[in-house]
Amino acid sequence: MNVITFDIEEWYAYLGKGREAEYDRYLDAILDKLDERKFRGTFFCVGEMGRLFPEVIRKIQVRGHEIGCHSNIHTWLNKMTEEECREDTRRAVDILEQCIGEKVVSYRAPAFSIGESNKWAFEILAENGIERDASVFPAARDFGGFPRFGQKVPSLIEYNGICIKEYPICTARLAGKEVAYSGGGFFRFFPLSYVKREIRKASYSMCYFHIGDLLPETSGVLSRQEYEDYFKEPGTLKARYLRYFKTNFGKKNALDKLMRLVSDVSFVNLEQADKQIDWTKAPKVVL
């Protein structure tokens, strides 16, 4: 089972940059390719997209894809208080549901920012009608991760009286370390042959993409202030240059690489995956 997902925030995140038409073209190319292969994806959308760019959200929905929630303003959940997260999630789900006229039941936190320190977020998701989550990065990473999660396959999370279905990011062991390979900068870094081989070896994979990762243009090194405003942590020179490398590596051919992946591998969205899984046999993770 291979799940394909997209995180949709660029129109809002780079508001005022005048690049909306470019984002539209890339989105249209992706939607056309999915149509060609008769695949449906899950598109995790920032709540403010539904308020400022409802036509983008509705275009995705009309093409038959699932609309999920990607927070309201793309602030990482581990940078929020519990109350801030509760209000952000409530507002995002409400805006998206008003936009599409349907329940929103799938969620992904920005930067996979649910871990041991803020596992209370699962309770907030459940309070807001979320049934399926795709926020867990089950290994250590630069910005946290959730190595104690212990599962690389769809699992049932039990926490404080709630139960939620979790679709974690898949990882592979490379040089003694667990790394992702099927989305974001990882997808751009690894050869396509390696990505396809790892996907075909596994019984489950989760692919995730951003429009911004597919644009060929490179961005400059963030200033200390820009870095600290966005990442809410010290903007050391090392941190800023590492972010520059991760943001720009492999962008030139990224869209073509995605198109070739979709041509060669079969995909479903979370809604379809949910129906294929026997949840009575799924692993349980008690937090």
Which residues pair with residue 247 across a beta bridge? none
- Give pLDDT tens digits along the chain (287 positions): 999 999 999 999 989 888 999 999 999 999 999 999 999 999 999 999 999 999 999 999 999 999 999 999 999 999 999 999 999 999 999 999 999 999 999 999 999 999 999 999 999 999 999 999 999 999 987 767 899 999 999 999 999 999 999 999 999 988 888 888 999 888 999 999 999 999 999 999 999 999 998 987 656 767 777 766 766 678 787 767 566 656 666 678 899 999 999 999 999 999 999 999 999 999 999 99
Residue of 77, 78, 104 whose CA lies nearest to 92: 104
For residue 106, give the H/E element and its range.
strand 106-107
pTM of the model: 0.91
Q: Where are the domains of the chain?
A: 2-216+251-277, 218-250
Q: What is the second-level CATH architecture of the domain 2-216+251-277?
A: Alpha-Beta Barrel (3.20)
Answer for the pair 267, 4: CB distance below 8 angstroms, yes or no.
yes
Torsion, Cα of 267, 271, 275, 281 (10° steps): 90
